[in-house]
Structure 1
């Protein structure tokens, strides 16, 4: 009952300025309820919540259903005692699939044009800045011409795939990181993620990165929007993967040297903040750095 009430309050909070925050947690109550209850009990708890929401703000039923689908998928994986990473990936793929399905339906049924929408939004945002630059000569750099807005709009469209992938992954990770201790406190054991020191990616990621570099070199100045979109999204995504590999290596180093975990956290901050340190992840993939650390310890 407590989680049903929490779910109801989260759905109702979508009509408040808190919606940007509460949206990140909408999956959590449904996951907890679906995992810990039988399907029949889950429906009995869910229906009253949807009825109340429908009576107050009917449109939010659609949002509830939207976030309910990945909750059911992740809950299903938790029921099967699947590994933490497979559960996160299942949730991420489901959320990403819903994003893409919405874009497809919006384009097919409502003639929604994403490029036009992004351009209009940027025009709306940059227009006050341009007016301010016109009034105040000290802020003349804030003037945005229509060509500047079109260029910015084009660049934004190019990185939307990466944005959708990263945001889907982060929502799944946030959900798992909160749901797991909750389920454990309810005596429902859920597998945890591997320790950071064991984070390792396949060496094939190096070849993917080289492929992305080649694509960028060959098509960086071409008019092929498809190839430009690949290079604009593939390389940043791979760099995020290399950052994860770098963090895994640093935690492994700290663990082997028996240093405090605080040291690992402090070493992680520059990796996240400074560009280029992800190269350590590539070196860790290509060469047996961890084996060298183990041997030097002996």
Structure 2
């Protein structure tokens, strides 16, 4: 009886996956279904083991190849690979962060393979094309606004131009962040659903308790020192590419630490949840201040000192 029930569950999961693939590829529901597409494979791998998960992935790839054999199939491929990897992590009783890491690594690997195929087989680099398009649009806008620009506007324009020129070198870190972002959203959506389906899933640590290693501060300081030595004539070198990507990722991590501190502070003071949320929304505008707050929190145990005073 149990075997029959398991067989029916697997067949239903595959059937739902096929329906969602059709809805994603051929209907206007794709903006909704892409966020649920990995869940059937996550369910198969988490509930019945990695062999069942891989079998489901193989069947879904055959179905995908039969109904769609063009660039439109890349997004479902990306999501199905991630769903299988994260489902295996859940089946192995990994933590929520380890599951997120697994999904992020799978995403990064798939994106790298797709990018390599695009560059080496089709001689098309989507990153370079995107930067070129942004630069062209920016230059056209500046020409139209030329006479009305103030001195302060010119300073902002120079900063924006510098950011545009750095985008081509930031491709690796942007790829990593995109991978983490997609894995995080999928995990936040899928874990409650899998729990309803009687799958044992990990639970998240509250955001207010997220804490980076203190060594991050020293690594960031070292990166800033090296970056300062690369300002003149270093652009485009291997060292420059490594440093600028490390700097970007570390800035994101330190900003996350700062946002986490806001939630921890509000929790200590028993403030309503809406207070840290509003402060976080404002913090996206003043991101440099949030990053500094994260550095202070790590370097001086700021939340621990507040806890002791409270």
TM-score (norm 2): 0.77
Contact 2:103-2:183 at 8 Å conserved across structures: yes
What is the Cα deviation at residue 126 of structure 1? 3.1
What is the Cα deviation at residue 168 of structure 1? 0.2
Contact 1:118-1:157 at 8 Å conserved across structures: no
Residue 45 of structure 2 corresponds to: 34
What is the Cα deviation at residue 245 of structure 1? 1.0
* Cα gap change, 1:119 to 1:180, in 2 (>3 Å): closer
Question: Which whole-Å CA distance do the structure 2 matches of 1:119 and 1:21 have between them?
Answer: 28
In the alignment, structure 1 segments of 5+ residues that lack a partner are: 143-149
Residue aligned with 1:214, SS = helix
* Cα gap change, 1:172 to 1:138, in 2 (>3 Å): closer
In the alignment, structure 2 segments of 5+ residues that lack a partner are: 1-10, 150-160
* Cα gap change, 1:258 to 1:271, in 2 (>3 Å): same
CA RMSD of aligned residues (A): 3.4
Q: Pairwise mapping of residues 25-174 of structure 1 onto structure 2 (< 5 A)? A: 25-37=36-48, 50=61, 52-59=63-70, 64-113=76-125, 117-118=129-130, 121-122=133-134, 126=137, 130=140, 154-174=165-185
Contact 2:41-2:80 at 8 Å conserved across structures: yes
Question: Which whole-Å CA distance do the structure 1 matches of 2:271 and 2:74 have between them?
Answer: 50
What is the Cα deviation at residue 80 of structure 1? 1.2
- State the aligned residue count: 285
Contact 2:209-2:260 at 8 Å conserved across structures: yes
Residue 294 of structure 1 corresponds to: 307
Residue 146 of structure 1 corresponds to: none
Question: Which whole-Å CA distance do the structure 1 matches of 2:58 and 2:147 have between them?
Answer: 56
Question: Which whole-Å CA distance do the structure 2 matches of 1:151 and 1:293 have between them?
Answer: 39
* Cα gap change, 1:170 to 1:133, in 2 (>3 Å): closer
- Whether 2:238 is the aligned partner of 1:254: answer no
Residue 232 of structure 1 corresponds to: 244
Residue 280 of structure 1 corresponds to: 293
User: Which residue of 3, 17, 24 corresponds with 1:7?
Assistant: 17
User: Which residue of 211, 219, 222 corresponds with 1:208?
Assistant: 219
Question: Which whole-Å CA distance do the structure 1 matches of 2:225 and 2:142 have between them?
Answer: 40
What is the Cα deviation at residue 6 of structure 1? 4.4
